[in-house]
Amino acid sequence: DGGITQSPKYLFRKEGQNVTLSCEQNLNHDAMYWYRQDPGQGLRLIYYSQIVNDFQKGDIAEGYSVSREKKESFPLTVTSAQKNPTAFYLCASTENSGNTIYFGEGSWLTVV
Amino acid sequence: DAKTTQPTSMDCAEGRAANLPCNHSTISGNEYVYWYRQIHSQGPQYIIHGLKNNETNEMASLIITEDRKSSTLILPHATLRDTAVYYCIVRVADGGFKTIFGAGTRLFVKA
């Protein structure tokens, strides 16, 4: 079945370490997104990418980095510069000409 | 993309209709109204969307006012599994990349 796969579902990180969250989609969508969600809050946009080898900062990009080397993949690295990284991270995708946003199942990151 | 306003939480009795309101008074003519829901620790799930006309699918109905400044999502026969956070968003017709997701409405369906 077509969809978006995020891994791992749960991840623990020590302070000062970088960690990379994986996002893969087989929907042939052009655009991909990363959102952060804190408990009881809405979704905040971290980065988005409209096409391969291009990406744009969202509202809260500081302390994060991304790459888009392949159409189906959009990994997110949470760097040690992110002061409060513990959160639920969601990857999403859309057709560039489409309206509906499709989401992955999310990844929980906890800094210990 | 325009912003939306939703109540923080609502209750509904199991088997009854759940009516979730949303205000989007600054919506533009080319913006669609979308509804998603999120069950705890899962990704948001698409429910329904519309532009001007009322819409219905197997999950829900969407009622949009004539001036398009507000809408209502209707779950006709709520079940316990419908307990979730429901998000109302607006998106431009050609996609748009900075859609705003607020805190949504937390719906509690009670037995």
Task: Give B21→chain A minimum CA distance, Å.
Answer: 17
As a whole number, the mean pLDDT across chain A is 92
* Best mean pLDDT range from A94-98, B48-52, B90-94, B100-104: B48-52
Instruction: Please indicate whether, in this complex, the C-beta atoms of A40 and B103 are within 8 angstroms of each other.
Output: yes
Pick the closest to residue A21 from A109, A87, A86, A112 (CA basis).
Answer: A109
Chain B CA closest to residue A103? B43
Least confident of B36-40, B49-53, B66-70, B90-94: B90-94
CB of A110 within 8 Å of a chain B CB? The answer is no
Chain B CA closest to residue A99? B95
Chain A CA closest to residue B44? A103
Instruction: Please indicate whether, in this complex, the C-beta atoms of A106 and B42 are within 8 angstroms of each other.
Output: yes
Q: What type of residue sits at position A12?
A: F
Q: CA dist A106 to A6, A53, A98, B80, Å?
A: 6, 23, 22, 23
Decide which of B103 and A6 is more confident: A6
CB contacts, 8 Å: B49 with chain A = 99-100
The beta-carbon neighbor of B98 closest among A45, A94, A102 is A45
Both tokens of A103, joined, read 């989401």
- Residue A8, preceding bond cis, omega within 30 degrees? yes
Instruction: Please indicate whether, in this complex, the C-beta atoms of A31 and B44 are within 8 angstroms of each other.
Output: no
What confidence tens digit (pLDDT) does each residue in A31-75 have? 999 999 998 889 999 999 989 999 999 999 999 999 999 999 999
CA distance A67 to A44: 19
Both tokens of A92, joined, read 């999403």
